[in-house]
Amino acid sequence: MTEAVVFDMDGVLLQSEEVWDAVREEYVRDRGGRYDAAVQRAMMGMSSTEWSRYLHDVAGVPDDPEEINAEVVRRMLAAYEEQLPLIPGAVDAVRRVAERYPLGLASSSNRELIDVALDQSGLAPYFAATVSSEEVAHGKPAPDVYLEAARRLGVDSHRCAAIEDSHGGIRSAKAAGMRVVAIPNPTYPPDDDALAQADVVLGSLSELTAESVGEPT
């Protein structure tokens, strides 16, 4: 029985994967590194510690990982200040689900970006617990960020549902034992193997209701 719902943020509430991609590509190329589709896909779901190390070790960015992380976050905050890429229907979808369930958020974004996005969108009051993957040992597809969200909500992870869009996120939530509602990102869709692990697949946030996240009767 579902007792709480945990949302992903990037790709579910924010159309931000494109922003991340553009910001990191510009930065990596500015610093003489390599940026291509393989680099982009590899980083989806990684924590800030993981992707900044990846850009240094694999993509050839000469800066220290801490410097990489700080500069990318600075550029992301500037982009959000200019325009927050809130997905149409995100606020209404969160409100619908919050009428029945306590909500958590489990995101690969940095804490600063989570807080700014939720404050700017007006969604902060709806979430009882928020977790950045930089606050746990391993990013997605490891289950750490979802397990921590469940812990902070005070609900067993097997009694939580997760709202996800990506291959790493779906695998992360399933590894945590959660029921997974997938809303595939049209720009960066999850692979077929990951999508097959979802319990429910929806076409858009407009289809997300309290009923769709609960166990079928």
Residue partners of 71: CB distance under 8 A and separation at least 6: 27, 63
Average pLDDT, the chain: 95
Q: Is the pLDDT of residue 198 over 70?
A: yes
**Three-class DSSP category at 95:** helix
Q: Identify the CA nearest to 177 among candidates 61, 57, 3.
A: 3
Q: Is the pLDDT of residue 217 over 80?
A: no
Give me 72's structure tokens.
Answer: 């990318």
Mean pLDDT of all residues in 76-84: 97
Residue with token string 């306590």: 102
Domains recognised in the chain with CATH numbers: 4-15+85-213 (3.40.50.1000), 17-82 (1.10.150)
Residue with token string 């990318």: 72
Please report, rounded to a whole number, the percentage of residues in the chain having pLDDT higher than 70.
99
pLDDT at 41: 86
pLDDT at 123: 98
Mean pLDDT of all residues in 153-164: 98
In this prediction, residue 146 has a pLDDT band, given cuts at 50, 70 and 90, of very high
Give me 111's structure tokens.
Answer: 């804490």
In this prediction, residue 119 has a pLDDT band, given cuts at 50, 70 and 90, of very high
Q: Is the pLDDT of residue 135 over 80?
A: yes
pLDDT at 91: 98
**Three-class DSSP category at 197:** coil
Please report, rounded to a whole number, the percentage of residues in the chain having pLDDT higher than 90.
93
In this structure, what DSSP letter does residue 164 have? E
Mean pLDDT of all residues in 55-76: 97
Mean pLDDT of all residues in 127-144: 96
